[in-house]
Amino acid sequence: MITVRAPATSANLGSGFDVFGVALDRPADLVSVERAAETTIEVTGMGAQYVPEDPAKNTAGVVADALDAPAHIRIDKGVRPSSGLGSSASSAAGAAVALDALYDRQHTPEELVRIAAEGEAAASGDAHADNVAPAILGGFTVVREDGIEQVDADVPLVVCLPEIVVSTRDARDVVPQSASIEDLVETVGAAATLTVGMCRDDPAQVGRGLEEHLVTPARAALVDGYDAACEAARNAGATGVTISGAGPAVLAVCRAGDRRRVASELVEGFESAGVDATSYPTAIGDGATIL
């Protein structure tokens, strides 16, 4: 049997919609695989009741099919489904890495990203590799049609999860279909600043680089309490705040010494708007790892 720890991830980082992603050092899914004549799936842990065990509908099952690697797959969910923290990507990434090792297929990490993305696409209808790339490669990733860039960045982060539900479909429906040249110039500037900040491990630059005025404001309308939480986090020292993936989780960047205060102020901000939330300090972490 092989067990893989596959991390939660945060996609977009504001200015890198459908392009940027980071692996988080917590939480994570644990994916265990054993050879079997046909694929079966068992899901336990956080929000397990919302995850299909039918291999045709589960991202890990679709990955097993794509790799022609039938197995009994056990997924212990540490990443809550529909949180904006790449829950289905964690399971897909964990399954890709575990099954590749179980059947000694020796795919490159980039090939495993493409296979895990197929799993995501078939099971969730959306083929974005911006969560599976960091879930497999770790660090900060830039996904494009023609390749993936990866940097092992070290930047303090805080994740806050409000107790509201945002469907990914709704979150994609509100994304504007066009942009002005002014918005484009601003977004490119922010994305470049963020990338330089990741290469320098500089929380001030990364925080500034989260800023964008196209996708995040449209999605913020779906996350009750978002504006209050952002303001509270900035007052507590956050260098930048944005929506994690399609939401509702919120991601803040700050200096290491400010993490606890930013975490508690994010919760206070949501609570001031009548929304319960939990938060925790985290950091950019490793990709899927065989235990």
- Distance in Å, CB of 111 to ligand HSE, minimum: 21
Tokens read off for 212: 């964008």
82 binds ligand HSE (CB under 6 A): no
Is the Cβ–Cβ distance between 33 and 67 less than 8 Å?
no
Residue of 9, 59, 120, 193 with catalytic role: 120
245 binds ligand HSE (CB under 6 A): yes
Q: Contacts with ligand HSE in 89-128 (CB under 6 A)?
A: 126, 128
DSSP 253: E
- Distance in Å, CB of 24 to ligand HSE, minimum: 14
Residue of 168, 268, 271, 289 with catalytic role: 168
- Distance in Å, CB of 290 to ligand HSE, minimum: 26
- HEC letters along 14-83: CCCCCCEEEEEEEEEEEEEEEECCCCEEEEEECCHHHCCCCCCCCHHHHHHHHCCCCEEEEEEECCCCCC
Q: Is 251 helix (H, G, I), strand (E, B) or coil?
A: strand
Instruction: Considering only the C-alpha atoms of the chain, give the largest distance between any 2 of them, rounded to a whole number of Å.
Output: 57
- Distance in Å, CB of 256 to ligand HSE, minimum: 27
Q: Judged by CB under 6 A, which stretch of 33-41, 93-101, 145-153, 166-174 contacts ligand HSE?
A: 166-174
| 168 labelled catalytic | yes
Within 13 A of 274's CA, how many CA atoms are on the CB side? Answer: 1
- The residues that touch ligand HSE, with contacts defined as CB under 6 A, are 11-12, 18, 126, 128, 130, 168, 171-172, 245-246
By annotation, the residues acting in catalysis are 120, 168
